[in-house]
Structure 1
């Protein structure tokens, strides 16, 4: 039996490679997003901790340490500033993620188009191969019948 050979196999492999590259790019952006979100959660936890420390330091009946209170307030402002920067970075990253998702969708669509063409060509080849085999079997049957007729 003959072997199926898809004449656009190189195109198919190239489209697979492009799709894989787009998947890796999207995965890298997702990894960065997770890191930024974790960083933002850390800033939030630190900010909550600083506010609790400040609230504890300002309780009635406690000696007030103005230097310590100022330092805690500054630290809280610093965490707020870092959190705002991280939120901005996340906003920029979300735009990049959206673009990367669209690129991956395009690459997947292009790969699937060639894959569907490959499947259709394989089915057509298989039908033609089956027809050839049936014709060959018919020919063998006719030749056998003719040979028997000659012997009689």
Structure 2
């Protein structure tokens, strides 16, 4: 049938494959680093963890939140995706609770973080029944988040 490849040829193929994979890995690392630099260079952001729902049903995701006029845009740290993974609109956002990380949270978080549960007001103006997201951040970052939440750009009004 076909010609058999010598061990030297197999070694050359493996060597080229190794260097190709190493190059791809290094390029991905550089891309993640450049993306993070671009996110952080303009300021107005905070490192925080995010998870959907409450009660530990989903894992915590490490990320970077950037404050905008009307929303908090949350980006995953280890991602090449240029757009935010989640956008938390400030309009109607309600903090439903604040707590220290539970023992099960501490497998993914550190003990110096504060966990807040957030949701949005219903159209009738009532408070949400269940949190939509949990956000974990340092105490100083939480102070900045609360200031951002309570402030409002000129000319805007709170209309649900």
**Which TM-score applies when normalising by structure 2?**
0.30
**Which TM-score applies when normalising by structure 1?**
0.31
Instruction: Flag the structure with higher helix content.
Output: 1
